[in-house]
Structure 1
Amino acid sequence: MIDRSSRTAEHVAGFRALESARPGGSLFHDPLAWRLLAPRHRPVVGLCRLPGVHAALVRYIDRRWSGGPRASAVVRTALIDRWLASALSGGAHQVVLLGAGFDSRAHRFPGGATWFEVDHPATQATKRRRLGRHARPGVVFAPADLITDDLATVLRAAGLDPSKRTVVIWEGVTNYLSAEAVDATLRALATLCPAGSTVIFTYVDRGVLDGTAQFPGAAEWHAAVRRQGEPWTFGLDPAAVHAYLAARGLRLEEDLSTRAAAALLLPAPRQAAEPTAEFYRVARALVAG
């Protein structure tokens, strides 16, 4: 049971704020990421607009946290933004941010859809306080603990319309849950959302957890989150994801490592200079008809 806002959520917001402050053009622009940082960290991002400071801080972070967590978070944000925009233009009318953390999409994406943010009450309270007047009116905040609360009950009570095509974003969460919790959540989503709805989620390669595969920087990254009290507890075998999802009423459409996403999204010089992870993955599935 987490009784405070997530430290990993804080870090990812920091990575988004840092990318948004990149001189000469960023992969995305998230103006609210800065506001979601703890006040003591905001001046650091402000300094990154000075010549040379941004590049120096990026190099420092990437050396201190090896394995590519910063750049992996950046490319997964850009990739999910792209998939979300496509689903919304294709007729989705609801978006569920599951384990929303300090995700700002509900407050920075164009209007038109109904947004639901589901997260632990502690993290959600911190987020709402930091957003203040910048929170978009009409966003539905549904406090819940995904380990103990029934997701279907939470979303129905929040007003989710089961007849409307929905996009679910489950970013940076599955690797902190149990296999039973991930299974129950995916089955609930396939039941709650109509056919054609999109489920986007991230996961780590199971080989990192069971020792059957070796990836550069994986052990160091895992050790870092373990020290913060948020160890990885769940992973999937990429070769088995299609069958895993099919058994739960979902059809896999795309499944990319953050390194593959970087090859699609980052300019070549950044790909070479900013490490991303082969073991950290982003998947897009549709609710089967």
Structure 2
Amino acid sequence: MLSSGSKTAVHVALFRALESVRDDRLFSDSYARLFLPRGYRVAAGVARFRPVGRRLEQYIDARWGGPRGSAVARTRLIDDWVDDAVSRGARQLLVLGAGFDSRAHRLPALSSVDVFEVDHPATQASKQRILAGRTRSDVRFVPVDFLYDDLGSALASAGFSPTVQTVVVWEGVTNYLTAAAVDVTLRYLGGIRGEVIFTYVDKAVLDGGVADAWRGAVTAVGEPWTFGFDPASLADYLRERGLTLVEDVSTRDAAQRYQRPQTAAEFYRVARARVGVDAEGE
């Protein structure tokens, strides 16, 4: 679970800030820079000069492996899937483990959609302080610890309706949870109306042998990966919880879709599922 001191959350914000100053950017996230410590903020600023930005990206990719390319690709893919869900009638956005997500403020399609952000209360307090006066004021913040709290009760208290068509974004979180926490959350989501977008790591990497640089980096900052799915059995797993897998792609495939294949990882994946076992073919 991300916390207000999460190094990985800060790194993803840096990757988004660097992408946002590129001439060929896949998305624009003007809020990402606000979440950065001073040194990273300066780096994101000077990256506007393309030779400097290119060198920074090369340094990051050489040091950490594939997280930057994967974060950029997954951000754009999820943006596109959220836009698609809203175009098909979604009227609520539920962001689980929201961290420094800024979609509620930067995606025009969400301007008339009710937004609920679920995260650790310390993370939410920090985020609200940073964004005060800069964004829409009607986002509903729902404090939850996925490892201990009941998600359904917390959302009900915040005014979330499970019968209103919803798009759920669960990005960059499942790989830091327990199998039990993921199971409980997906069983709850299988009872709402709408679709769920989530990221995960292929469980094979938890046994080592691949992704050594990236896995070592998150472990070194005290945020090791603890959970993964087997892509081959994901559809069956979701079906048992009331969800139908619609699409499951690696961030490498997503990066190729957007012509950014250089460093994105095959083992880091983004999936989209619709609620109900008969949702295929919609």
Distance 1:281 1:187 in 2: 20
Q: Which residue in 1 is equivalent to 2:86?
A: 88
| Amino acid of the structure 2 residue aligned with 1:50 | F
Per the alignment, residue 283 of structure 1 pairs with 271
In angstroms, what is the RMSD of aligned CA positions?
1.4
Question: 1:261 corresponds to which residue?
Answer: 254
Offset of 1:2 from its aligned partner? 7.1
The secondary structure found in structure 1 opposite 2:190 is helix
1:200 Cα deviation (Å)? Answer: 0.4
2:224 maps to which residue?
231
Name the counterpart of 1:27. 26
Tell me how far apart the structure 2 counterparts of residues 2 and 75 of structure 1 sit (CA, whole Å). 20
* 2-structure distance, mates of 1:141, 1:282: 24
1:23-71 per-residue CA deviation (whole Å, 9 max, x = no partner) reads x2201111111112224421211111124111010001101111x1000
Query: How far apart, CA to CA, are the structure 1 residues paired with 2:227 and 2:248?
Result: 17
Q: Which amino acid aligns with 2:230?
A: D
**Other-structure match for 1:99:** 97
Match of 1:15 in 2: 15
Counterpart for residue 108 of structure 1: 106
Unaligned regions of 5+ residues in structure 1, if any? none
Q: Matched residue of 2:273: which SS?
A: strand
Task: Determine the structure 1 residue equivalent to 2:142.
Answer: 142
C-alpha separation in 1, matches of 2:69 and 2:135: 27
Amino acid of the residue matched to residue 167 of structure 2? V
The corresponding residue for 1:207 is: 204
DSSP-derived class of the 1:133 partner: coil
Instruction: Indicate the residue corresponding to 1:176 in structure 2.
Output: 176
Following the alignment from structure 2 to structure 1, what is the Cα–Cα distance between the partners of residues 248 and 50? 37
1:278–1:3: structure 2 CA closer, same or farther, 3 Å change rule? closer
CA shift at 1:209, angstroms? 1.1
Size of the aligned set, in residue pairs, is 275
Q: Secondary structure at the match of 1:134?
A: coil
TM-score normalised over the length of structure 2: 0.94
Identity in percent: 55
- What SS does the corresponding residue of 1:222 show, helix, strand or coil? helix
* 2-structure distance, mates of 1:2, 1:132: 21
- TM (norm. structure 1) is 0.92
